[in-house]
Amino acid sequence: MIRCLAVDDEPYALKQLISYIERTPFLELTGEASNAFEAMEQLSENTADLIFIDINMPEMSGMEFVKTLPAGTNIIFTTAYSEYAAESYNVNAIDYLLKPISYEDFLKAANKANEKISSTRTNMQEDEKEGHFFVRAAGKFVKIFFSDIRFIESLSEYVVFHIKDTKSVKSLMSLKSLLSVLPQKNFMRVHRSYIVNLDKIEAVERNRIIIDNQRIPVGDQYKDAFSKFLDSLTV
């Protein structure tokens, strides 16, 4: 399933988007918003694989909002103005839907998104089998092995991979996007700003995880899951 966020300041247009998403078997609505600020809040709470967003909205336009998102975010723009088509492709949007939107046009765009996202997921799965993946960092693609990662730290719109030999790699992405790539049996999010490699934990002391002499906090909303993990291995 492709998790979708629908964003439009026009109630009727938003309702239509939601209806089309719910009618499409491989799409799942995980959030809706009437402006960019509500969309930000939705994305902080729920992961979205695909965002349908109107370009023309008050305060912050859909185009302005998309430019604040991590590179590689899957976007389909909607608008009543055809002159924005070229600009939408400049930000690597998957497609551009001109209002009023027919379900036929919506489905064509959704199929394009499905093809792209399915291909990305397949590539990630293949890389996971090989034990590594690539990230864009400092103008190049850097290979990172899962086994080398100590922990991952979020810094604003960037993440920092802390890897062996005290090295680090900084890339423009979010912790949420990483959760679908990292092997769940080895990695756990323990704080809004940290994911740890469970195999690299040296000790746990007062809600602090110690890895390579670094003390990583365990956030309140992650304590239960982390405690269950500890309990399962404690003798």
Which tens digits make up the pLDDT trace of 23-68?
999 999 999 999 999 999 988 877 789 999 999 999 999 999 998 8
Q: Say if residue 84's pLDDT is above 70.
A: no
Average pLDDT over residues 61-78: 89
Q: Say if residue 120's pLDDT is above 90.
A: no
* 164 or 93: which leads in pLDDT: 93
What domains are there in the chain, each with its CATH number?
2-127 (3.40.50.2300), 131-233 (2.40.50.1020)
Cβ atoms of 217 and 208 closer than 8 Å: yes
Q: What is the pLDDT of residues 130-151, one digit of tens each?
A: 588 888 887 788 889 898 999 9
Q: Say if residue 154's pLDDT is above 60.
A: yes
Cβ atoms of 84 and 35 closer than 8 Å: no
pLDDT of residue 123: 67
Q: What is the pLDDT of residues 157-209, one digit of tens each?
A: 899 999 987 689 999 888 888 887 888 888 999 999 999 999 999 999 989 99
pLDDT of residue 17: 97
Q: Say if residue 127's pLDDT is above 90.
A: no
Q: Say if residue 70's pLDDT is above 70.
A: yes
Q: Say if residue 225's pLDDT is above 80.
A: yes
Label residue 86 by pLDDT band (50, 70, 90).
Answer: low
